[in-house]
Structure 1
Amino acid sequence: MDQPEPGPGDYANDGHLLDGLRRAVEFGATLLDTSDSYGAGRAERMLERILREYRNEGLIVSSKVGRIRGSAAHAYADRNIHRQFQQSRDNLYVDAVDIYTLDSWDFGPQDRYLGGAIDQLRTLQQLGDIKAVGLRGPYTHYGATPAERTACAERFLYLFRLIKPDVVWTRFNALTPVVSLEGENLFDFTARHGVGVILAAPLAHGLLTGKALPAMPRPGPHVPDTGTRSLTPRALEAIAAGLQVLRDHFGEASGVLTRLALRSCLQRADHCATVVGFTHEAQVTENFCCLGPPLTSDELALVDEAYAQIRTGIEESTARPGTRRAGV
């Protein structure tokens, strides 16, 4: 379960978020994902309450570092990772964090702080404070040029070889542009290296459920970058057409599209886990209750084909000069 990113003024909603987290655990969620940057630590403190209430459930805790600089020269400078980790551990009130992910590829000019970041993480892991080291996975926006996609893959591979992560945490859903890694997709690549994968944003911020994309503010100092951008009318038409293909085959019942989007990620590979964000308990209930049995291989093939058509439509709509790039 991907914990939401509370912002200033969201305190009144804490009770709803806690209820949603409780509901998720009661439905069987075992991975709880958060970050030190979500609400400047408030999300971690909220999660501590859930860990205390369900201490015998064997819950796996994932947090991240790399977005908060504080008074340091850089988020990864000197011992800032160590300081942020200690604060996260205090917030979560745990002896060890199961998965601790480097949430940014920015390691300063000429990667000045990369070596120190690796040393800090490995020291924490050797001490038993971190069980698994995570690295943010490769992602490109629609409209990225071949050169930009190649650069993204090369940057990820460079960091992957140096950091040697145990887990890759990545934004992924059926609309995500494909990035080739040494001639393989992310799932084959990580399987070959024995690395786990956490998939976030499986519903594409509601797009794959058939809901209209809400207006999102452009990222700024106080607005987290969720990766969502305004999509062109042609892109939205491509999404609607693809989802209608799925409705025609699987029916119009409530939750059908949500089920297909979640199953598409959950059944992607055996070494993958999926985290889903939420804003209220009803969403958690819908997500779990709609899952049903696994899709058959034929059903998965049909879903993948429909999603591939959507991706093609989005790419074509963003290929024209001057078109705003979109990330979902």
Structure 2
Amino acid sequence: MDDRVLGRTGRDVAVIGLGCWQLGADWGRVDDADAMAVLHAAVDSGVTFLDTADVYGDGRSERLIHRFLAERPGEVMVATKCGRRADPHVPAAFTPENLRAWTDRSRANLGVDRLDLVQLHCPPTPVFSSDEVFDALDDLVTAGNLAAYGVSVETCEEALTAIARPNVASVQIILNAFRRKPLERVLPAAREAGVGIIARVPLASGLLSGKYDEHTTFAADDHRSFNRHGESFDVGETFSGVPYEVGVAAARELAEVAAGLGVTTAALALRWIVDQPGVSVVIPGARNAVQARANAAAADLDPLDTDTLATIEHIYDERIRAHVHHRW
């Protein structure tokens, strides 16, 4: 798998990584054995970047990765996130003391002295303009608690604010064939500044797998059931903010494009992201080892041709743009 430099971390990572939200919670049950199988299958397939957060299963995802690191030390870079533990989730909660406590908890969960990369976990918008917050993160780097820090954002404007900060190493943002807005300003700005782009929700919560239809149901503890209208967190995190029925119809058209190329819809969707200039790593999740291997294999596909790219853009413009482009 091709490697790319992850922004100001200076570290090379394989272009397809693994998002580990599924291994913690909110996607239906994934038992420990399946979670460990996912981690091993991903790394066996060339993945070298794992993305998790302290709130995924209240630390369960981090602790599972700790187990994996003990079995296979030195093979991967691990990024985690902090800030969603704040209750209430307000700018005033992002104090130096809380940032230290949150990152200390992640160090313990992951079993490491120094975190490879810590990302602010979609904090309230004013946090991105807070010198105090970023000074505190600089202090944690100086103290050796973390090697680098970045941000995870909901909106393009938040991303642009973060990119302008001199020590932000990476920006994690939703980017997929149903969320194209970051292509306009965020990716060019990141390339110019040398900031890494981590593309999350690459399959639009599974819509872009091409496996769902109007009759698909999800478990009660799956965010695709309980957060369809933003009841628990930003609705853009669930199906990329696309109304489910709209997304199913658009994904059906994309599946026809994929079939014409002889690939799966998921592989087409992942290859589309890999082809975008400025993307450092894309982080699809997986609930089992088969999915993990299939996701990694998308990196081996040839770059998409101009006709295919134009068709994907047309599907977005005709079916998706009006629902999401103005919102994030």
Q: Which category describes the TM-score, using the shorter chain as reference length? A: 0.7 to 0.9
Partner Cα distance (2:44, 2:89) in 1: 40
Of 261-270 and 230-239, the range deviating more from structure 2: 230-239
Residue of 107, 122, 130 corresponding to 1:114: 130
Shift of 1:70: 5.5
Counterpart contact for 2:174–2:201, Cα < 8 Å? yes
Shift of 1:12: 6.4
Aligned runs of 1:77-116 on 2, under 5 Å?
77-106=95-124, 114-116=130-132
Size of the aligned set, in residue pairs, is 296
Aligned runs of 1:249-264 on 2, under 5 Å?
250-251=261-262, 255-264=263-272
Shift of 1:104: 2.0
* Superposed CA offset, 1:160-198 (max 9, x none): 334641111111111104147xxx532221110011111
* Superposed CA offset, 1:121-166 (max 9, x none): 1011122322221112453xxxxxxxxxxxx52x443343346411
Q: Which residue of 2 aligns with 1:146?
A: none
Identity of aligned residues (%): 23
Partner Cα distance (2:61, 2:292) in 1: 17
Against the structure 1 CA distance between its residues 237 and 326, is the aligned structure 2 distance closer, same or farther, given a 3 Å change threshold? farther
Counterpart contact for 2:257–2:308, Cα < 8 Å? no
Partner Cα distance (1:100, 1:276) in 2: 19
TM-score, reference length from structure 1:
0.78
Q: Which residue of 2 aligns with 1:197?
A: 197
Are 1:274 and 2:274 counterparts?
no
Q: Which residue of 1 aligns with 2:81?
A: 64
Are 1:27 and 2:45 counterparts?
yes
Cα RMSD over matched residues? 3.2
Residue of 287, 306, 312 corresponding to 1:307: 312
Against the structure 1 CA distance between its residues 211 and 10, is the aligned structure 2 distance closer, same or farther, given a 3 Å change threshold? closer
Larger radius of gyration: 1
Aligned runs of 1:82-231 on 2, under 5 Å?
82-106=100-124, 114-137=130-153, 139=155, 152-153=156-157, 155-162=158-165, 164-179=167-182, 184-212=184-212, 214-215=216-217, 216=224, 217-218=226-227, 219-221=230-232, 226-228=237-239, 229=241, 231=243
* Superposed CA offset, 1:227-274 (max 9, x none): 3246264553333224313423x13xxx53222222222232365111
- AA partner of residue 51 (structure 2): D
Q: Which residue of 1 aligns with 2:255?
A: 243
Shift of 1:200: 1.3
- AA partner of residue 274 (structure 1): V
Against the structure 1 CA distance between its residues 35 and 300, is the aligned structure 2 distance closer, same or farther, given a 3 Å change threshold? farther
- AA partner of residue 7 (structure 1): A
Counterpart contact for 1:264–1:300, Cα < 8 Å? no
Counterpart contact for 2:78–2:117, Cα < 8 Å? yes
Q: Return the structure number with greater relative CO, CA threshold 8 A, min gap 6.
A: 2
Counterpart contact for 1:201–1:275, Cα < 8 Å? yes
Q: Which residue of 2 aligns with 1:292?
A: 300
Aligned partner of residue 61 in structure 1, secondary structure: strand
TM-score, reference length from structure 2:
0.78
* Superposed CA offset, 1:9-33 (max 9, x none): 9776121011111111111110011
Aligned partner of residue 69 in structure 2, secondary structure: helix
Aligned partner of residue 38 in structure 1, secondary structure: coil
Against the structure 1 CA distance between its residues 64 and 8, is the aligned structure 2 distance closer, same or farther, given a 3 Å change threshold? closer
Against the structure 1 CA distance between its residues 71 and 243, is the aligned structure 2 distance closer, same or farther, given a 3 Å change threshold? closer
* Superposed CA offset, 1:249-307 (max 9, x none): x13xxx53222222222232365111110111221122234543432xxx332332122
Against the structure 1 CA distance between its residues 274 and 111, is the aligned structure 2 distance closer, same or farther, given a 3 Å change threshold? closer
Of 11-20 and 45-54, the range deviating more from structure 2: 11-20
Unaligned runs of 5+ in 2: 1-17, 218-223
